[in-house]
């Protein structure tokens, strides 16, 4: 099979180039392990050079598994049993495995926090080029090109540890683009990007497909912006290719009457090294309300939430819950009054079984043993993870781990709920269900603060909207 990886001269405006088939999938079946059922149940699919294919569908429906198969990761990395065939640029990736697949396909994962392997941005983007044997003299130019393509040129030279999750996502995309793959695979790439960055990514994918003939496959729940640049849309549902579902109709939240202040921050300053990312931030969260916090990647949203939860030390200012001064108290002494679900909750799940993870906070907060199973079961039902009770959290999808982490926090009935990008990996139906759940928690007296780039979710759940500007919520 011949794969075109150059521009298509003479392509008329508005007409998408139709190149040779880059990825061919026939009868693909896959199961991660005994007793878990098939994640893919006989998928047939062709993806052509110069095409942007948008893959939608519910959480756990098989989207990520399909991308992992095209990247040669299943069964070679994740284990399990596979049948059928997946071929990329003439390479049978179901047989050859990740090393051979990496020469023709590049994948950006749902959790960019785990994708970085080097300490600085430039070295991380260069890593794949070094492994591919590119000459040392050519690497800096390719790194600079890829960073600019991904909208991350301004991050050159930065330490990975100082980047926001959205910035890490851009660097991960640059690391894949640097290798100039014939097939570009992206799993939930806009989940942590601000609207401007998400729009830039959509334009970038269209440009890469048109100018270089790359075949692009994007699995995404926040697919509104990507629909405008996609040539085709499909859904993967219950392990099969299906027609995409229509988008849900948004339901605005009902008006609320705020209660007493549940959490107050006064002139908070916090940052990294000599720089203050949060600079004089003040806000009050009232009981009975849901507040949405937006702002560009790197504006300080996550740092502010971590400071309120006691995970990130403040350099100045005070934090109070009612009349109680929390300033200087670590997170464990603020919980369960103040609870945070961070952007990457999978890194904080501790137990071998989902049901034990959800019940963990009940033991730590002194709930009698006889009450714990019932409360844990109710929390798992609220987040639709009861069917996962016996599973290991590490075996779950990103969206499933997010819901487990939410259940593990909400089970303790915190008075102040802080959520950082809670809809990552969630399909539209589950995003709507989470919005309703947060409204119900607020109606019961909790104060909720949600940092999110998901405008539709913010509109559905929040009655107050703030934006981080110059290190402060406005």
Per-residue pLDDT tens digits for 444-457: 999 999 999 999 99
The CATH number of the domain covering residues in 21-242: 3.40.50.300
> Can you state the angle between helices 121-131 and 139-149, rounded to 10 degrees?
120
Least confident of 50-54, 64-68, 70-74, 208-212: 208-212
> Which parts of 49-103 are beta strand (E)?
52-56, 81-88, 91-92
Q: How many CB atoms lie within 10 A of CB 215?
A: 31
| The pLDDT of residue 35 | 64
| The pLDDT of residue 15 | 39
| The pLDDT of residue 11 | 31
pLDDT band at 395 (very low <50, low <70, confident <90, very high): confident
Question: Does the global pTM surpass 0.75?
Answer: yes
pLDDT band at 190 (very low <50, low <70, confident <90, very high): confident
Answer whether residue 10 shows pLDDT above 60: no
Cis peptide before 336 (omega within 30 of 0): yes
Pairwise CA distance, residues 241 & 255, whole Å: 40
Pairwise CA distance, residues 424 & 308, whole Å: 21
% pLDDT > 70, the chain: 95
Pairwise CA distance, residues 247 & 202, whole Å: 19
> Is residue 360 within 8 Å of 308, Cβ to Cβ?
no
Q: Where in the chain is the domain with CATH 3.40.50.300?
A: 21-242, 261-473
Handedness of CA 81, 85, 86, 88 (dihedral sign): positive
The architecture in CATH of the region 261-473 reads 3-Layer(aba) Sandwich (3.40)
**Of 360 and 115, more confident:** 360
**Of 60 and 137, more confident:** 137
> Is residue 387 within 8 Å of 322, Cβ to Cβ?
no
> Is residue 83 within 8 Å of 29, Cβ to Cβ?
yes
Q: Report the candidate in 50, 39, 168 with the shortest Cα–Cα distance to residue 109.
A: 168
> Is residue 369 within 8 Å of 377, Cβ to Cβ?
no
pLDDT in tens, 206-216: 988 998 899 99
pLDDT band at 355 (very low <50, low <70, confident <90, very high): very high
Q: Given the structure tokens 């960055």, which residue do they identify?
A: 197
| The pLDDT of residue 348 | 78
DSSP string across 367-425 = --GGGHHHHHHHHHHHTT-GGGTTS-GGGS-HHHHHHHHHHHHHTT--SEEEEESTTTT
Answer whether residue 19 shows pLDDT above 80: no
- Share the mean pLDDT of the chain: 89
What is the average pLDDT across 183-197?
88
| The pLDDT of residue 377 | 96
pLDDT in tens, 225-246: 899 999 999 999 999 999 988 8
Phi and psi torsions of 424, nearest 5°:
-60, 125
What is the average pLDDT across 295-315?
94
Buried/exposed 37-67: b ≥16 CB within 10 Å, e otherwise? ebbbbebebebbbbbbbbbbbbbbbbbbbbb
Pairwise CA distance, residues 171 & 159, whole Å: 11
The angle formed by the CA atoms of residues 104, 106 and 107, to the nearest 5 degrees, is: 150
The residues, any chain, with a CB within 8 Å of residue 334's CB and separated by 6 or more, are 309, 310, 321, 326
% pLDDT > 90, the chain: 67
pLDDT band at 158 (very low <50, low <70, confident <90, very high): very high
Q: Are strands 240-242 and 232-237 parallel, antiparallel or unpaired?
A: antiparallel
What is the average pLDDT across 195-213?
88
Q: Report the candidate in 305, 249, 318 with the shortest Cα–Cα distance to residue 452.
A: 305
Answer whether residue 8 shows pLDDT above 90: no
| The pLDDT of residue 307 | 96
Pairwise CA distance, residues 65 & 474, whole Å: 41
pLDDT band at 14 (very low <50, low <70, confident <90, very high): very low
């Amino acid at each position: 099979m011949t794969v075109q990886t150059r521009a298509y001269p003479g392509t008329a405006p508005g007409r998408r180039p139709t190149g040779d088939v880059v990825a061919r999938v026939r009868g693909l079946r896959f199961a991660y392990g005994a007793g878990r059922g098939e994640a893919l149940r006989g998928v047939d699919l062709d993806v052509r050079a110069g095409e942007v294919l948008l893959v939608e569908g519910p959480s756990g429906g098989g989207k990520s598994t399909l991308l992992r198969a095209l990247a040669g990761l299943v069964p070679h990395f994740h284990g399990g049993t596979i049948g059928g065939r997946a071929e990329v640029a003439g390479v049978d990736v179901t047989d050859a495995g990740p090393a051979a697949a990496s020469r023709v396909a590049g994948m950006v994962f749902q959790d960019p926090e785990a994708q970085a392997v080097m300490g600085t941005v430039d070295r991380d983007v260069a890593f794949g080029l070094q492994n591919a044997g590119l000459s040392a003299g050519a690497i800096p130019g390719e790194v600079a090109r890829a960073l600019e393509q991904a909208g991350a040129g301004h991050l050159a030279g930065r330490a990975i540890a100082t980047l926001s999750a959205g910035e890490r996502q851009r660097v991960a995309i640059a690391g894949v683009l640097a290798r100039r793959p014939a097939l570009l695979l992206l799993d939930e790439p806009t989940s942590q990007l601000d609207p401007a960055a998400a729009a830039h990514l959509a334009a970038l994918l269209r440009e890469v497909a048109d100018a270089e003939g790359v075949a692009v496959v994007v699995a995404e729940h926040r697919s509104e912006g990507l629909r405008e640049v996609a040539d085709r849309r499909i859904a993967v549902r219950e392990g099969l290719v299906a027609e995409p579902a229509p988008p849900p109709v948004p339901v605005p939240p009902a008006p609320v009457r705020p209660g007493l202040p549940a959490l107050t921050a006064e002139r908070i300053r916090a940052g990294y090294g000599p720089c203050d990312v949060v600079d004089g931030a003040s806000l009050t969260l009232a009981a009975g309300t849901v507040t949405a916090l937006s702002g560009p990647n790197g504006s300080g949203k996550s740092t502010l939430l971590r400071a309120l939860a006691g995970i990130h030390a403040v350099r100045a200012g005070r934090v109070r819950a009612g009349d109680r001064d929390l300033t200087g108290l670590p997170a464990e002494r603020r919980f369960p009054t103040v609870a945070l679900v961070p952007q990457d909750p999978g890194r904080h799940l501790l137990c071998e079984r989902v049901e034990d993870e959800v019940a963990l906070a009940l033991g730590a907060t002194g709930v009698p043993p006889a009450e714990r199973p019932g409360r844990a079961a109710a929390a798992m039902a609220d987040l639709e993870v009861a069917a996962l009770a016996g599973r290991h959290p590490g075996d779950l999808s990103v969206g499933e781990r997010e819901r487990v982490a939410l259940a593990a926090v909400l089970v303790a009935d915190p008075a102040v709920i802080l959520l950082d990008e809670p809809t990552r990996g969630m399909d539209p139906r589950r995003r709507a269900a989470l919005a309703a759940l947060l409204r119900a928690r607020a109606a019961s007296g909790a104060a909720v603060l949600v940092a999110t780039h998901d405008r539709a979710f913010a509109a559905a759940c929040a009655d107050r909207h703030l934006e981080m500007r110059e290190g402060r919520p406005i």
